[in-house]
Amino acid sequence: MENLQTIKQRFEIIGNNTHLNRALEKAIRVAPTDISVLVTGESGVGKESIPKIIHHLSHRKHAKYIAVNCGAIPEGTIDSELFGHEKGAFTGATTARKGYFEVADGGTIFLDEVGELPLTTQVRLLRVLENGEFIKVGSSNVQKTNVRMVAATNIDLHKAISKSKFREDLYYRLSTIEIHLPPLRERISDIHLLFRKFASDFAQKYKMPTVRLTDDAVKSLENYGFPGNIRQLKNIAEQISIVEENRVVNAAILLQYLPTKGTNLPSIISQEKNATDFATEREIMYKILFDMRNDINDLKKLTLDLMQSNDASKVKEDNKHLIQKIYHEDPKNNPIENKVEVVRYSDNDTNSGNFEYAETIDADESLFLEDKEIELIKKSLERNNGKRKLAATELGISERTLYRKIKQYNL
């Protein structure tokens, strides 16, 4: 069995972090067996190195090694890619095709981003893991395959299981041995080593002197969080190697290549906070709807009283508290007062559709929904730090409409 240092040199793995060494040692020990392995870790930590090590140290090293990015294959074709299909199985299937499990028989398959697999494909995959059997798309014949399966994911499969997006039985079959690779921010002592390796590689590639970092630049590099991990560090080294004429880079120059946290990156909102916000908004909307239902019932009562009474003025006085004012906007966005028109049917012709007269009643000065609308807009603006575009998206209205509401309500 090859030792750890030899494996690092062979597969160009840089670093002496304890957690990294532990992951590599597990890969070396498990390689001679046929046990399924699940590699976990954030995107960009180098998960693809582990299945290569396992394959090349196993008795399958002379057979096929196939790496499949499950997240890059459309859901409609993933079964065909993995298990193959027969001629005429679907539109466009003009010939029969072998899938990866058939092609890699006797070898190793690396399923990257296995957490992205559709549930139907997960069932097929479970069958392969349990007894080595699969069926091509459009076929009824069971075929056998003998493959070593190594999977990798950057998502929390336990959360995916709780949300019914990943099968629990498949997880336990895949993770007989689980190997976790640490993120770069937990390998601080390895960051400069990796940068020097990348800088040397790019110097040879582009035929130019190697970039070097000053002491303050090294500290800045080590203090950076690297959300993109090793992949991001490699990109930064390449950018600096190409763009900078001065081959000695200080902290001020380096910081220009380190994206500020939260800049030019998609916003990530925790699902817990998001769920709470939606629950709060839902409660407010329910209250508004219940209050509106009560108002409609009151309006029905008022209309019924007017229809059954000969004294409209008395009905109006008795139900004064039910009459409300409703605002609309004219084309110039100026609020104008509406009136509530009550139709009184003739006593002898209530069901005919004919009416004796129509009375217009002044509406009350309060606007029922206005307060709730203002409250929702204020909360949304506060949550989004006053950014109207984000607040408008959250409220489900256009930014222009939100701006008009802000101006109307003096917010």
> Domain map of the chain by residue range?
4-182, 186-255, 271-366, 370-409
Residue 68 has pLDDT above 90, yes or no: yes
Can you name the CATH fold of 370-409? Arc Repressor Mutant, subunit A (1.10.10)
pLDDT over 60 (residue 112): yes
What is the rounded distance in angstroms from the CA atom of residue 394 to the CA atom of residue 381? 10
- For residues 396 and 279, the model is more confident at 396
Percent pLDDT > 70 in the chain is: 77
Average pLDDT over residues 265-287: 52
Task: Return the CATH fold of 186-255.
Answer: Helicase, Ruva Protein; domain 3 (1.10.8)
Amino acid at 245: E
- Looking at residue 12, its pLDDT comes to 92
- Is the per-residue pLDDT at 259 higher than 80? yes
On whether the CB atoms of residues 179 and 49 are closer than 8 A, the answer is no
Strands 335-337 and 327-329, bridge-based pairing: antiparallel
Give the model confidence (pLDDT) of 371-385 as tens digits.
Answer: 777 888 888 888 888
Q: Is residue 280's pLDDT more than 60?
A: no
Distance in angstroms (rounded) separating the CA atoms of residues 18 and 286: 54
pLDDT band at 95 (very low <50, low <70, confident <90, very high): very high
Burial of 271 (0-12, 13-18, 19+ CB in 10 A): exposed
H or E segment to which residue 11 belongs: none
Helices 388-395 and 399-409, packing angle to 10 deg: 100
pLDDT score recorded for residue 69: 95
Residue 325's pLDDT band (cuts 50, 70, 90):
very low
- Residues 106 and 151: their CA atoms lie apart, in Å, by 17
> In this predicted structure, what is the pLDDT of residue 176?
93
More confident residue, 375 or 142: 142
CATH of 4-182, one of 3.40.50.10680, 3.30.460.80, 3.40.50.300, 3.40.50.1820: 3.40.50.300
Decide which of 81 and 263 is more confident: 81
Query: At CA 216, angle to CA 213 and CA 220, rounded to 5?
Result: 90
Dist CA 248 CA 275 (whole Å):
49
What is the per-residue pLDDT for 324? 47
What is the overall mean pLDDT for the chain?
A: 82
Mean pLDDT over 114-137 rounds to 95
Angle at 219 between CA 190 and CA 14, to 5 degrees: 10
pLDDT exceeds cutoff 80 at 246: yes
Calculate mean pLDDT across residues 25-41.
96
Q: What is residue 76's three-state secondary structure?
A: coil
| Whether pLDDT at 262 is above 90 | no
Q: How confident is the model at residue 269 (pLDDT cuts 50, 70, 90)?
A: very low
Picking from 166-180, 218-232, 370-384, which range would have the lowest pLDDT averaged per residue? 370-384
Q: Is the pLDDT of residue 316 over 60?
A: no
Asked if residue 363 has pLDDT above 50, the reply is no
DSSP assignment of 208-231 equals: SPPPEE-HHHHHHHHHS--TTHHH
> Where does 244-270 have alpha helices with state H?
251-255
pLDDT digits (tens, 9 = 90+) for 389-403: 888 888 878 877 887
